[in-house]
Amino acid sequence: IYVDEPLLYDNFPSDFMWAAATSAYQIEGGWDADGKGLSIYDIWMNDPNHVSDGSSGKVACNSYYFYQKDIEALQSLGVSHYRFSISWARVLPDGIGRINQPGIDYYKRLIAALKAVNIEPMVTLYHWDLPQALESMGGWLNPNIADWFEEYARFCYTEFGNDVKYWITVNEPWVIAYQGYGSGNTAPGTYGPGTYTYQVGHHIILAHARAYRAYETSFKPTQNGKVGITVNINWYDPKDDQLENIDAAERALQFLGGWIANPIYGTGDYPDVMKQKVGDKSAQQGFNQSRLPEFTAEQKVLVQGSADFFGLNYYTSYLTANKIQDISIIDYGYDQDIESYSDPTCYQSSFDWLTITPFGMRKTLNWIKDRFNDPEIIITENGISDRSGNVDDMMRVYYYKHNINSMLKAIKDGVRVTGYAAWSLIDNFEWGNGFTQKFGLFSINFETTDLNRTAKASARYYAKLVKDNGFTADQPCNNTPI
């Protein structure tokens, strides 16, 4: 049964990074402005069947033109950092080769305007919007993507690196690999849930590592920044204390988080439980080798330790049980032999996958510390949606209060969390859910052309928390908007 945990009234370390986050396709608009190339999402979202409200990100929050409105919102939050992503096709329209100077200039203006008001950029190189020109050559299924991604990363370090101290190579490999090329329910919509999923995951890890090593060798000595990758992890609790369910919960965590994190932050290789499950099933299914690719000895050296920090997107938790799945189904989901579901006693957001489970924040952070050699961790996303966009957003105030407090408890446990980015700065284009799921600290009326950003109660709550750098005993604890 879910119960509120008492808040810990204490402060964050004085140099803690407070941020809000967005991504290019979800906010920028300007989909074909000034020489931008097409990305796979420009193509995918052109089909109204792919979006619940038939909308697209063609205009979105129009941040390509209205970025000053975003910066004003950030200033009113008092945050030290802004996490945004670069649209690859905006700066390199074909993904490699030819550059698009107006696209480069846009990010230079944005970065300069942020720095002018003492907000540091935290830049994601890849938040899912692959240039279509690269998808035409196989996209993330083509092993050459490691070369392409390194070229793009070097280009960004060269153009923007003097002003960027935090780089996130890839946002949520799981979504790209399993949803983009596995179930195929998001761009590019390629179907291969038990095969392509693992191949794409493999190529993402290698591409990330190449981008990391390029920075380490050629840029870090002069630019002094840090490079990491962002992994999405849900917390999984066993549904009861039976050993098989305890094992199932750990297996769920390893398949979701360990898949990407164990090669990079751990042993240089996939988790044993993944190698064993996918290997055994592949053999039973008649494959002559495991559907999970293997790293060569050189690749292990390339990959292991290829990050200066661990980016974590944490939203929610599930209950888990062991469940032996049908061997005839070739699917990353089925390979795990688990079932998982939301605890019905937890508060539900407007998204079926997202219940309010602040306790999972602390548990996930401790799990990462214990499994992956105590890395520096930055929470690169955490947040909750509703459908109304109401500025009186008590539920979101509650979510942030308790999740951030749970993170504070993890810090007191000894987990090295150095920053936190709320998802999201503004209501924006929520992928397949269009504008129907609103995550913003600021609301936007998408019926208007000015698309002004209006602070919600959660924005005022977050601003106070940031200003106090933590939780003060005199802070209203009854969810009263400040």
Residue ranges that bind ligand GBH, judged by CB under 6 A: 23, 171-172, 175, 232, 313, 315, 353, 381, 423, 430, 439
Q: Which is nearer to ligand GBH, 141 or 175 (CB)?
A: 175
State in angstroms the smallest separation of the CB of 312 from ligand GBH: 11
Alpha helices in 219-287 (DSSP H): 220-223, 243-253, 259-265, 272-284
N- to C-terminal Cα separation, the chain: 30
**Beta strands at 442-444 and 453-455: parallel, antiparallel or unpaired:** antiparallel
Whose CA is closest to 80, among 420, 417, 460? 420
State in angstroms the smallest separation of the CB of 26 from ligand GBH: 6
| C-alpha to C-alpha distances, 204 to 142, 224, 337, nearest whole angstrom | 10, 24, 25
Q: Are 27 and 429 in contact (CB under 8 A)?
A: yes
Q: Are 210 and 314 in contact (CB under 8 A)?
A: no
State in angstroms the smallest separation of the CB of 39 from ligand GBH: 14
Q: Which is nearer to ligand GBH, 140 or 471 (CB)?
A: 140
State in angstroms the smallest separation of the CB of 87 from ligand GBH: 13
Identify the DSSP state of 183: S
| Type of residue at 410 | A
3-state secondary structure 34-45: HHCCCEHHHHHC
The single residue listed with the structure tokens 């975003």 is 70
Active-site option among 120, 159, 381, 430: 381
Whose CA is closest to 83, among 209, 156, 168? 168
Active site residue 294: no
Q: Which is nearer to ligand GBH, 66 or 315 (CB)?
A: 315
Q: Are 119 and 82 in contact (CB under 8 A)?
A: yes
Q: Which is nearer to ligand GBH, 347 or 353 (CB)?
A: 353
Helix (H, G, I), strand (E, B) or coil at 413: helix
CA-CA-CA-CA torsion for 47, 43, 232, 440, nearest 10 degrees? -70
Compute the Cα dihedral for 345, 349, 354, 357 and give only its sign.
Answer: negative
Q: Which residues are catalytic?
A: 381
